Chains A and B, each alone.
Chain A
Amino acid sequence: MADTLSLFERRFALLLSILLAAMGMTMVAAARHGVMAVHGFITIALGVGLVLALGRVYYSAPPVAERAGRFYDAPTRLGIAMTLIWAIIGMGAGVWVSALLYWPDATPAVPWTSFGRLRPVHTTGIIFGFGGNALIATSFHVLQRTSRARLAGSVSPWFVLIGYNLFCVWAVTGYLMGSTQSKEYAEAEWYADLWLVVVWVTYFVLYMRTLARREEPHIYVANWYYLAFILVVAMLHIVNNLALPLRLNAAESLPVWSGVQDAMVQWWYGHNAVAFFLTAGFLGMLYYFLPVRSGRPIWSYRLSIVSFWGITFFYIWVGSHHLHYTALPYWVQTLGMTFSVMLLVPSWASAGNAIATLNGAWNKVRDDATLRFMFVAAVFYGLSTFEGSFLAIRPVNSLSHYTDWTVGHVHSGTLGWVAMIVFGAIYTLVPQLSGRETMASSRAVEWHFWLAVAGTLIYVVAMWNAGITQGLMWRAYNENGALSYSFVQSVEKMAPYYLLRTIGGALFLAGAVICVLNCRATVLLAKGEAADRPLVRQPAE
């Protein structure tokens, strides 16, 4: 990585690495023990590792002068590698915690292997580790190609990626040691949150500076989505994580919000983490890689405008549908429900636009598993947004809420939509960045596809059954007007579904393992780097 930097940039990167190690030392010195000290040690190790990596190539020949005439793909490669590593960690943790619901005594009775601590490892590992790295890596690629310009920085892409992964590692190791804010999908403690803000601002500045260099008058639609992802996630992250640390040298804090305000802010964040992290960013991915892979332009430009602004405007309102029949004021619940139903329009406009783009390329969908990943992603996007609007309707929600139906819904989105589009993008990118036409093994891609589809279907169907069973059992009355079932009876009924869910998840994980091996084999067989080049303005004669 460092060999792509000029001598000045190497010095600057060295300085940043030393500062990082110094930050780690400060954390260790201030905290002395506990979670923050461990995080300090991790940071020192990272800083020292980066110094060594830079030192090794410090005196090597600086990059060729015509560097500006090439796309900067090295950060994307690291991002894809991190995506795959986090996929295995996050999905592995998911399969394991799901197995724990079937075999509750399967883990040794030590704190860090407990369900409650591993569960956020799964959610953070997937959303931030797998999803986030995939978004950053592909955004660098898409931004450069659609702007026909090289990234506007040489050190900052590395800072964004490495800094972001440091956040993920802090978060996940913190949970294992029992450090958590307990806000779902925002469990990381206060200093990790602050660090993420620094990383995110750098990311935004890099994005804007690169856009400013573009050689295309128009900003392509994929970039609108990536921009919405960057901007709105920043807004959500900052507001939801406002907290007072108990002490500046301890990994514990209390959110400034309480009770009903906290619930509203949390689900405003929680649902828009789905919207702007797990949807907007990945739609950006879809709008670039689907046309590229199928060789067809996006079906309707107008529809993409309508759906983009519809999604950006409507989604923000819908978080309160997580709080139907609770102590949240009724009118806020009603607004959340109404906008959730309206949201179906822009959501289906996006899904329909994607599927219509494939018109004329259906033979490719049949033959090319990579394109099939993207097609299935668009279909699952349409299905899960329909389900989402449906579940947000108050009476439906009275049955589904608190049950495994919600879990099934989330996974039809994350497995069926998010992960499938990521794999489609990876199978497009990895050969291209290796200067190859295809992955090392096309059969392996085919295997991965069917394992992923089978795993998703088994998972989702099991959770539908589980959730509806729970909802019906909890509200059943007998002829005497008493509740028919005790709570634990509904727990007993879950066993077969929880087992099936574990099997579905394991199939999906197996597919991801195949993907990792295939990507590794492809990179080892690399014939060079990406062949395409940015437009470079020539000085006037």
Chain B
Amino acid sequence: MLRLHYNLEKVSMGLVVAIIVAASIGGIVEIAPLFTIDETVELPDDLRPHTPLELAGRHIYMREGCYACHSQMVRSLADELDRYGPYSLPSESAYDHPMLWGSKRTGPDLARVGGKYSDDWHARHLIDPRSVVPASIMPSYPWLRRPLDTELLRERLETLAKLGVPYDEAMIGASQADALAQSRPDGEGADAVRARYGEKVVIRDFDGDPSRLTELDALIAYLQSLGTLTDAPYTILKASSADIPDGDGHE
């Protein structure tokens, strides 16, 4: 062996090839099987993709670096189930390019935050977190009151469709109109949004200012959608708790 290496380290291309081989094996073994995931992870029938307004909100969530302090991944641990809700399924983020599972909880997990607080609470909390949670150390985001820039929304849906997210021609074509309509519950487009994205889509004037479509509207729409894109985690958890006669039903 030592003799072999003694000769190898005299040949620069030999070292290059050996390094590439040694460093490729692990990645190939762990990553390649995940691409058969279409067969191993079942997408629930009721799974819907994000609406254009929620996608715009997701972009703001990324832009402001929210993912640096908030995870979106409930682990299969008892206390996490009690604190946040059912553990996260792989199918829930199947349409997420990129995923926002996060790596740090300076603030709480947000995978199931949809519907947990009112729109008004979110609006106050984002503009001035300490007005609703005095001990919070979250930054204030007063600039979210500015109008939402929808310039790239159509391209965003188009690109996601190319990557396999089920947005059809009608959804792409109506992306800007749908974004506005989702914040106008009494407007004409509300029914069209429901028809395209399902009855459970939340259609509200999220920021409390009906005259304008703001970044706050988009971000709150996104936050209210988290954990609501499918009911699968709840049905799976219920089914597995039913199997256990006594006890707390967690793993």
Contacts and interface: CB of A to CB of B under 8 A. Distances in A.
Interface stretch (B140-148, B192-200, B238-246): B140-148
B93 A235 contact: no
B139 A258 contact: no
A328 B75 CA distance: 10
21 contacts: A101-B137, A105-B130, A107-B139, A114-B139, A116-B64, A119-B65, A231-B20, A246-B155, A252-B59, A252-B152, A253-B159, A254-B156, A259-B93, A260-B90, A266-B98, A315-B26, A325-B77, A402-B104, A470-B105, A487-B83, A491-B106
B163 A258 contact: yes
A317 B25 CA distance: 8
A366 interface: no
A461 interface: no
B63 A178 contact: yes
Given A114-B141, A218-B9, A261-B31, A326 B75 contact: yes
Going nearest first, the 4 A-B pairs with the smallest beta carbon separation are A116-B65, A316-B26, A317-B26, A325-B75
Interface string A456-482: 000000000000001000111100011
A227 B139 contact: no
B124 to A, nearest CB: 15
Nearest to B76: A325
A434 interface: no
A477 B19 contact: no
A488 to B, nearest CB: 5
A78 to B, nearest CB: 26
Given A101-B137, A325-B75, A120 B65 contact: yes
A111 interface: yes
Given A259-B94, A325-B76, A227 B15 contact: yes
A276 B139 CA distance: 34
What's the interface size class on B, roughly? 35 or more
A477 B141 contact: no
B136 A491 contact: yes
A492 interface: yes
A491 B137 contact: yes
Interface in B170-190: none
Interface stretch (A180-188, A284-292, A440-448, A533-541): A180-188
Interface in A241-300: 244, 246-247, 250, 252-266, 268, 276
Nearest to A212: B12
Contacts of B163: 244, 254, 256, 258
Interface in B192-230: none
A262 B78 CA distance: 26
B160 A254 contact: yes
A150 to B, nearest CB: 17
A491 B107 contact: yes
Interface string B26-69: 11011101110100110000000000000000010011111111
A406 interface: yes
Contacts of B27: 235, 239, 268, 316
Nearest to B5: A305
Contacts of B160: 254
B73 interface: yes
B145 to A, nearest CB: 11
A258 B95 contact: yes
Contact of B90 (A180, A208, A327): A327
Contacts of A257: 97-98
A255 B190 CA distance: 31
Nearest to A220: B9
B63 A260 contact: no
B135 A488 contact: yes
B127 to A, nearest CB: 9
A250 B26 CA distance: 35
B41 to A, nearest CB: 7
